[in-house]
A and B are shown apart, each in its own frame.
Chain A
Amino acid sequence: MTASVGRTSWPALGVVVAAAALAPLVFTDFFVSVILTKSLWLGVAAASLIFLSAYGGMVSLAQVGIYGVAGMTFANLVVADGGAAAAWSPWIATIAAIVVAVAVGLFFGVIAARSVGIYFLMITLAFSVLVYYFFSQVTQLSGFGGVNNPDLPSLVGQPGQDPAPLYYTTLVVAVLVFLGLRYVSRAPFGLALQGLRDEPARMRALGFNVTRHRILAFTLAAFIAAVAGVLSVWYNGRIAPGSINLAQTIDILIIAVIGGLYRLEGAWVGALTYALLDNYSREWTPTVGDVLGAERFNTILGVVFLIIVLLSPGGLVGLWERVRGLGGRGPGPPGEVAREPAPAEAAK
């Protein structure tokens, strides 16, 4: 496997971010909130998965579990309907939520990082589902119908009335996450991580502590997932066990796979595709008995996911690269270093 470090195309990134910044002027509030803001925070969650997968070779399904811990912690610490309602300031609650989730992530990492490949996938999946069962059982923390209407920082205002402040906040966070992960992936830490992905034995011979490095990478991804978890509560205005269940775990995985498990920008490409499908596929889905119809969004999603896994393991980004003849033959990460910007992001 070739290292999948691409050069950040600054002009392209600039154009995408500028377009995204102007989006609220062009699109309706509905579109800004339901499509764009949602894609941005889902993309952050998917980016934590893609970072681990692309640079560490670890496909972690625990990311939703970790973001669930962050979201639940935040929702319980601020004033809210249901949950512990500890009435902390939203900013302090945000920091506390991230700290708690990162600690949980560190613990998960210590247990899981010694396993590799498919074992790692299974163990992290078990973690995620256990987090879900934990919150569905412990109603003191999750309320009976979830924790609703949490107090949000004044920065994001009232997302229900004016989505723009939350949108810009999420956009800034997403850009910072993208640049941060990009930077880490090319810093010595990230290069060593890619070395561990490809040649663990050699890296150990070179004196690297393989497991510790993997744990640190996992913890960093947990931090990103925690940020996404807090954002998800800001966006939804609620969190319930049902929003961190296996279906959500799989949705984040689907987003990552649709975008391409090997490219960081794929996270947002996948998230945008997912949000668009989620909203508009219901309108054009023909009704075929019980099998298809507006209610059967998950079937559509599953089929799209299946087709992408079968046809293009590199996801949409991989497909794009293949169309451009830049590599991405067969399974595995697209071999060549791609110099293209995230194409679908420009669609914003």
Chain B
Amino acid sequence: MSGSSQTPLDPAAGGVTDARGATAAEEAVEARAAGAPRRWTVTRVALGLVAAVVVVWLVVKASEDLRQFAVVSLNGITLAALFFVVASGFTLIFGLMRVVNMAHGSLYLLGGYLALEMQDSWFKEEVGGLGISLAGEAGAEYDLVGWLVPLVLATLIIGVLGVIMQQVFLRWNQGQDLRQALITIALSVIFADQMLAAFGGISKDIKTPTDWPESIALPGDVRFGFFRGVIVLGAAVLIGLLLWWLITRTRFGKIVRAGVDDREMVSALGINVQLVFAAAFFLGAVLAGLGGVLGGTMISLAPGEDTSFLLNSLIVVIIGGMGSLAGAAIGALALGLVDAYGDVYLVFGDTDLTNYSILLTFALLVAVLAVRPLGLFGRPA
């Protein structure tokens, strides 16, 4: 089954991985007996029909109000950008080490909280002596440094925390994936409770620098949030490119790709795999922490966001295929758009079904798994 030399972490070879991944996936799907293909064709036709209905429905909605459609689409894309940042760390760790880090959501939330604490205690400049008791943003100003320094520091702390987690709890039971998942679940329970104790249950957010614009004007008289549309999207694209470069163009990436295919062989060649594992865990945790700071600024920080981002990461990588960077990008985009469209467009005449929108996410998951049990770019472990 490991005949393919393409690595799932190689986004450049996405197309090839796709084609080969399909064969491998089919081998792995043990139930696919000889007589099955006809039934699967029916499934595919049905899914194609559903997809067509969805497209028609979107076109109808878009033609009703093009400006709204643009904003909703941008909402979806920026949400996807955030999902990608967080999920790429999750998929990186899994791809190399087969560790499902169930504490990934906790690292996300903790990253956000740490940055918030630093911003609040070091960089808050009160203006107007009486403003303190009012809503925070009215009475305080923040400069660029007051956003960037917490971002970098919090991200690095989370990275180190990730390495400690890996070294203390996961290193000595490598290969026992269920046990490792259980360990990270236990850690996430402890993290969640401690964060509740330390940061309380009220929703908070990290402030953007005061001199940044609220929104930007786009062609067609559309206005969109500056932070969401420029910073988060830009960061995600940058991170995607950096990861792509790291994985395909550097020695570290080569080792990672080789490690994904055959850990023992890499180790036998004299490469210090443990060091690479620690580095990968650092990188994965850094991405979670960075996502937390971005998400904490873009949305908010509250207990439960850890669950929410664990679920998002899970869905993104289940759709995209575990361990695949390109899969994470496509999975994030699909999830973000489905979220955004479902929240607005599930209105048919007088019936408002928007609070059933979670079913669309579920449908997306089911549709992908029905055709590709290992996700779009997934390969058997």
Classify chain A's interface size. Answer: 35 or more
Across the interface, A129 reaches (CB within 8 A) one of B100, B177, B197, B307, namely B307
Shortest Cβ gap from A246 to chain B (Å): 5
Chain B 140-185 residues near chain A, CB threshold 8 A:
169, 173, 176-179, 181-183, 185
10 further contact pairs, Cβ within 8 A, besides A118-B98, A130-B362, A306-B190:
A111-B365, A112-B369, A118-B100, A118-B178, A118-B381, A122-B318, A126-B314, A138-B356, A200-B30, A305-B189
Verify A331–B358 contact, CB threshold 8 A: no
Instruction: Determine the distance from Cα of A126 to Cα of B310 in the docked complex, in whole angstroms.
Output: 9
- A-side residues, CB < 8 A to B, are 59, 111-112, 114-115, 117-119, 121-123, 125-127, 129-130, 133-134, 137-139, 200-201, 204, 209-212, 245-247, 250, 253-254, 257, 290-291, 295-299, 301-303, 305-306, 309-310, 313, 331
Shortest Cβ gap from A50 to chain B (Å): 14
Chain B 336-374 residues near chain A, CB threshold 8 A:
355-359, 361-362, 365-366, 369-370, 373-374
Verify B187–A137 contact, CB threshold 8 A: no
Contacts of B194 in A (CB 8 A): 290-291, 296, 299
Verify B374–A119 contact, CB threshold 8 A: yes
Verify B190–A119 contact, CB threshold 8 A: no
Verify B187–A302 contact, CB threshold 8 A: yes
Task: Among A125, A127, A200, A295, find the residue whose CB has the most chain B CB atoms closer than 10 A.
Answer: A125
Contacts A296-B193, A331-B173; is A121 near B355 (CB within 8 Å)? no
Classify chain B's interface size. Answer: 35 or more
Contacts of B169 in A (CB 8 A): 306, 310
Contacts of A257 in B (CB 8 A): 182
Q: Tell me if B218 counts as interface (CB < 8 A to partner A).
A: no
Instruction: Determine the distance from Cα of A138 to Cα of B354 in the docked complex, in whole angstroms.
Output: 9
Across the interface, B322 reaches (CB within 8 A) one of A119, A129, A134, A137, namely A119
Shortest Cβ gap from B46 to chain A (Å): 14
Chain B 271-316 residues near chain A, CB threshold 8 A:
307, 310-311, 314-315
Across the interface, B178 reaches (CB within 8 A) one of A117, A254, A298, A306, namely A117
Verify B176–A245 contact, CB threshold 8 A: no
Contacts of A59 in B (CB 8 A): 178
Contacts of A127 in B (CB 8 A): 362
Instruction: Determine the distance from Cα of A338 to Cα of B307 in the docked complex, in whole angstroms.
Output: 38
Verify B307–A296 contact, CB threshold 8 A: no
Shortest Cβ gap from A178 to chain B (Å): 24
10 A-B pairs (CB sep. < 8 Å): A129-B307, A137-B355, A211-B31, A250-B185, A253-B185, A296-B193, A298-B193, A302-B187, A303-B186, A309-B183
Contacts of A117 in B (CB 8 A): 177-178, 381
Instruction: Determine the distance from Cα of A302 to Cα of B307 in the docked complex, in whole angstroms.
Output: 16
Interface flags for B25-46 (1: CB within 8 Å of A; 0: not) read 0000111010000000000000
Residue on B nearest A253 in the bound complex, by CB: B185
Contacts A126-B314, A305-B186; is A299 near B30 (CB within 8 Å)? no
Verify B185–A114 contact, CB threshold 8 A: no
Pairs of residues from A and B, 4 with the lowest C-beta to C-beta distance, nearest first: A211-B31, A302-B189, A302-B190, A298-B193
Task: Among A123, A246, A247, A295, find the residue whose CB has the most chain B CB atoms closer than 10 A.
Answer: A246
Shortest Cβ gap from A244 to chain B (Å): 13
Instruction: Determine the distance from Cα of A207 to Cα of B370 in the docked complex, in whole angstroms.
Output: 23
Across the interface, B197 reaches (CB within 8 A) one of A247, A296, A306, namely A296
